Structure 1
Amino acid sequence: MISHEGRERYKALRDEISQAAAGWLGRSTKQKKTKEEFWALKDVSFEVDKGDRVGIIGRNGAGKSTLLKIISRITEPTQGRISIKGRVASLLEVGTGFHPELTGRENIFLNGAILGMSRREIRAKLDEIIAFAEVEKFLDTPVKRYSSGMYVRLAFSVAAHLEPEILVVDEVLAVGDAAFQKKCLGKMEDVSQNEGRTVLFVSHNMGVVSQLCNKGILLSQGQVKLQGEMKKVVDAYLRSDDAQQQYRLKDPGQKKNYFTAIDIVNTKGEVQSDFAFDEPMTLRFSFLIQEPANGLQIGIGLEDKFNTRVFTILREIEYFDASDGTVHGEVELPASLIAPNTYSFVFAIWTRSGKVYDLQSGICPVTIHDNGTEYALYEGVDYGNVIIQPKWSSPKA
């Protein structure tokens, strides 16, 4: 639980020394405001129950990482208090939690000792930790020589297997490859659902937090804007101005040819980010051409929450009307094609010679949900990302 109570503003040691010296010299010790104060978090209060899987979302700078550092006791709150029951294991930014001069093996025992585990308890988990992290060959090498991917694999494995009551994970998993990210998500689900432990997870990937977490907290400018069921919190975030800024088109800079607008609309022409499985969607885009360009091609890609390409659409630009200097195009994706999940799009314009004019990736996040159609997904069955509707026949023998 995090709640607030009044307390004197935090002062650094240099402030205390300066004030003491000023008092000794007979000067006023009244503190002057020399710079603007910035609150990374303000009036944040919430409770997390045992076994909850809480996703903390919000745009960059919203205060998510600061909140996890406070929960992990790395940073002390300027005001208020935090009450925690149980051991906390944290996986924050790469470089924290391990001593760089110690080997992987030594750091495993160090982290276990910090959590209050005996050497016997740590040894009992050692083989599982090593196997999950896939760093057997480098276990007795100082971790300062590890790649960022190796470091994260071992750090996550240690945090997840040393049986903390509370597991705190930041976006650091983005360092690993897609296969390891999927492996980590499976482990976090196992830790929370089967072992009854609590997980606090920060991510910019709405599909991942929706899959893993049952409760959500939306932060904006250091304050809690919404908390409750994860899906409702994600939906509110995707509709917010913060999300639109996070997923908006990149600044074209000095480019002469670039995308000016990309939207996903429903059958009424309204911008939408959540579609039923049996509902078609239309991709609408505009592309500005300010210098001669021949043989242009457009590519549109769909990617899943692990940034794995699902499919790609290609077409020559000449087929579109560009009489006003702007290419306007629409592509309709049929209903019952994309399996329920969360996705994002990639848009690109390039020439036949391979010159890329503009590339926009990770934009227009969209969620496809199952609304009880005849193709409803059975629980626990993975249908992949695309469900095709081919022509069927029954030839006579």
Structure 2
Amino acid sequence: MKISARISAIVAAAAILAAAFGFYAVAGEGNEPMTEKFVNFTMRDSLMRSYEVFRKGGEARVAFMGGSVTTREWRNAVMDFLKKKFPGTRFDFIMAGIGGTDANLGAFRLPSDVFGSGKVDLFFLEFAVNGGDVKATEGIIRQAKRLNPDIDIVIMYFACTGYMQDFNAGRVPSWIRQHDKVAEYYGIPVLFLYREVAEHIKADALTWEEFSTDSVHPTSMGCKIYSGCIIDFLKQAWSDPKLAVPAPDTRLPEKLKSSCYENGRYIDINSAKVKSGFASLDNWRPGKTCNFAPPVDVLEATEPGSELSLDFRGTAVGIYTIVGFDAGKIEYSIDGNPFRTKDQFDVYCDQFHRPCYLIFDSNLPEGRHTLVLRVSANKNTKSIGTAVRILKFMAN
């Protein structure tokens, strides 16, 4: 029987085998799985801070942040493993995945979406598929370490068809190079999950169609592969409980990017000063949606010329919005400078309403600034309206 024909049954047992025997199950030469440890990772710093918190028992918090793949079922096996390994610990698991979003937005939503319930002890992070440059990834890392100097962070590099092509060509994907530059600088462990998938496909032990339903989202089998790798990594990281617990990271090194989003945050829509047209709309519930669950509260304007202003402190400013069929163009000015225009309507807007963001400027001088927004009368020809619906303002 071909290995690819057996992989479904083998991988289906992977989570059970990993939990019971401490290994990641992969296809072997016979009809039985061979025991092969997951090796596609770089350890760097240890995970003994979180281990010590979990070992002592009591309350602990584990967060998962990323795009749509972060929302998938692979997390369930990882959470079950942690609960079984540390039965005396009451875990609070935070799911901070939002489909179609990258590390840029992640840096601004980190304080509320990840740390909104308190300090996080173990933080799984993945934006290599959706992107986000060094300043975004570094901003997330620095802010997380500042919010909890004892945090353990694990960065994951998930698989997509583009990364399979890069692997076969002997290239490291561009986003992964950028994210790994940050991980190496700050001593953060990384899991090369895309490489694990690519190696199995190259060895005819797996097909992409078995692993994913499209170009990136894992099937149930794909989720078992991810969870099996992550669980085996954790077992190896915690294989020697006598390892020293590192001191807290209370003194961070110099920044790689001086403009990184280390102070990224949301600003409530009620902080804006409305001049005309904009109004609060509670429990807004659009028709067809993607990557969010209505109802939501928005600050809405649908008429050209509607205008508001926002006073803020920082070096960057933007908005977190809902865009869709009627998304309009936005005219903006910062500190009295000439107005510029950004078009909210993109290739997905004619399909559904979804969360999106715009960053108007990320290189402002530190200090107080004023943002002025107004709805443009010059709409995209594909849009059916000129709507602007703001969930949050963003500043760094």
Fold similarity call, TM over 0.5: no
User: Which protein has the larger Cα radius of gyration, Structure 1 or Structure 2?
Assistant: 1
TM-score, normalised by the number of residues in structure 1: 0.25
Which one scores higher on RCO, CA 8 angstroms, separation ≥ 6?
2
